């Protein structure tokens, strides 16, 4: 995996320490990765379905967690910079190319008799 954009919730303990809970949708999936740990370093993680993640977020909010921000985190749960967008692929790379004039005659396959009925879609 690579860096993902997480929504981060925070809880301040009475002793002055803080803990955080974060979640991010996994690309191309119906699952969510949740991370938790002391503020700034969310090393523990688990992949869950969206219903479970939603239930856990509601529980955290009831306990007193508050929304902090959205931030990019790497696979180790450390804050990182937004990754560079992937290189775009030009559709022209996949465009049909017309045959060169000197490539010889084109064969019309529709003229071949196969004794089978022709179907057209």
pLDDT per position as a tens digit, 56-76:
999 999 999 999 999 999 888
The reported pLDDT for the residue numbered 110 is: 63
What global pTM score does this model have?
A: 0.65
Q: Work out the burial of residue 21: count CB atoms within 10 Å of its CB; fewer than 13 is exposed, 13-18 middle, 19 or more buried.
A: buried
The reported pLDDT for the residue numbered 41 is: 85
DSSP 8-state secondary structure symbol assigned to residue 110: G
Mean pLDDT computed over 40-65: 93
Bridge partners (DSSP) listed for residue 44? 36
The reported pLDDT for the residue numbered 79 is: 87
- Please give the sequence-ordered ranges of beta strands (E in DSSP) within 4-61, or none if there are none: 4-12, 18-25, 31-38, 44-49
Find where tokens 């990019």 sit. 72
The fold of the 4-73 domain, in CATH, is q64v53_bacfr protein fold (2.20.140)
CA distances to 34, 40, 85 from 88, rounded to whole Å, are 29, 33, 8
Domain ranges of the chain: 4-73
Bridge partners (DSSP) listed for residue 9? 21, 67
Q: What element of type H or E holds 19?
A: strand 18-25
The reported pLDDT for the residue numbered 23 is: 95
Bridge partners (DSSP) listed for residue 38? 19
């Amino acid at each position: 995996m690579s860096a993902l954009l997480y929504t981060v919730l925070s809880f301040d303990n009475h002793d002055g320490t803080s803990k955080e809970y974060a979640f991010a949708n996994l690309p191309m999936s119906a699952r969510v990765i949740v991370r938790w740990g002391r503020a700034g370093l969310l090393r523990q993680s688990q992949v869950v379905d969206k219903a479970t993640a939603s239930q856990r977020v509601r529980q955290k909010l009831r306990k007193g967690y508050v929304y902090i921000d959205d931030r990019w985190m790497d696979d180790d749960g450390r804050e990182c910079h937004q990754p560079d967008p992937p290189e775009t692929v030009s559709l022209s790379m996949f465009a049909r190319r017309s045959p060169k004039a000197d490539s010889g005659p084109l064969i019309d396959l529709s003229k071949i008799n196969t004794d089978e009925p022709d179907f057209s879609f």
